[in-house]
């Protein structure tokens, strides 16, 4: 995410509009520049409390150079309400980072969810970033299904930390050039998977076929 946010082209020095689904400790806000706007959606009030108040445990949001708003509630419901009110957020980057350990928020990964995300993007040069790090479930086949459904270009950027834990992101965009920025292209490659699956919808999803080490 640092590579994407630091290298995202800024037209006429205009600020970026960044949406983040899943606050965590607010780390991504540290990448905000003056003039940027970060809208952070978080369902858990206890998580929000760690970054708010006079003496927050985590200060990334407070210390960000960007203007920030934390919105409490289920991101999909809130974004649907915003769209229905005509409050399109025009995000240059939308980050889907709402996973907790190996818990998969299926309702944030369906066709209907992506249709909603598209309503809140600024345009074809916008990028959606999915944080797919998971020990037991490989979401890459779903990312390929998504890219085929929407004719998105994809970039798989991953590595391991000092503890051997994988940190994996998949970036998608309607404009392939957005994923060909040198810093990104050097760090990643198009998404590959060993199996093909159906695109998930609100009426259909199948976690079993994504279990690591299983074959169907």
Instruction: Report pLDDT digits (tens) over 13-29.
Output: 789 999 999 999 999 99
Q: Does domain 2-210 sit in CATH 3.40.50.150?
A: yes
Evaluate whether 147 touches 191 at the Cβ level (below 8 Å): yes
**Res 163: pLDDT:** 72
Residue 72 has pLDDT above 90, yes or no: yes
What SS3 state is found at 100? strand
pLDDT at residue 102, as a whole number: 65
Question: In a 3-state reduction of DSSP, which class is residue 202?
Answer: coil
- Map out the domains of the chain as residue ranges: 2-210
| 3-class SS string, 125-174 | CCEEEEECCCCCECCHHHHHHHHHHHCCEEEEEEEECCCCCEEEEEEEEC
- What pLDDT score does 213 carry? 59
Whole-number Å distance between alpha carbons of 125 and 108: 21
């Amino acid at each position: 995410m640092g590579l994407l946010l630091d290298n995202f082209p800024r037209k006429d020095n205009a600020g970026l509009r960044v949406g983040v689904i899943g606050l965590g400790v607010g780390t991504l806000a540290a990448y905000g520049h003056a003039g940027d706007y970060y809208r952070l959606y978080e369902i858990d009030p206890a998580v929000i409390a760690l970054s708010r108040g006079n003496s927050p445990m985590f200060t990334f949001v407070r210390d960000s150079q960007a203007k920030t708003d934390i919105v409490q509630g289920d991101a999909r419901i809130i974004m649907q309400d915003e769209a229905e009110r005509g409050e399109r957020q025009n995000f240059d980057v939308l980050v889907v980072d709402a996973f907790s350990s190996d818990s998969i928020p299926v309702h944030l990964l369906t066709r209907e969810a992506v249709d909603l995300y598209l309503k809140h993007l600024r345009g074809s040069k916008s990028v959606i970033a999915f944080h797919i790090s998971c020990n037991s479930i490989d979401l890459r086949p779903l990312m390929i299904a998504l890219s085929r459904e929407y004719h998105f270009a994809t970039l798989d950027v991953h590595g391991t930390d000092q503890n051997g834990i994988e940190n994996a992101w998949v970036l998608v965009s309607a404009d392939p050039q957005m994923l060909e920025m040198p810093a990104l292209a050097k760090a990643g490659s198009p998404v590959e998977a060993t199996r093909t699956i159906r695109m998930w919808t609100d009426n259909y999803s199948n976690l079993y076929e994504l279990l690591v080490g299983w074959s169907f």
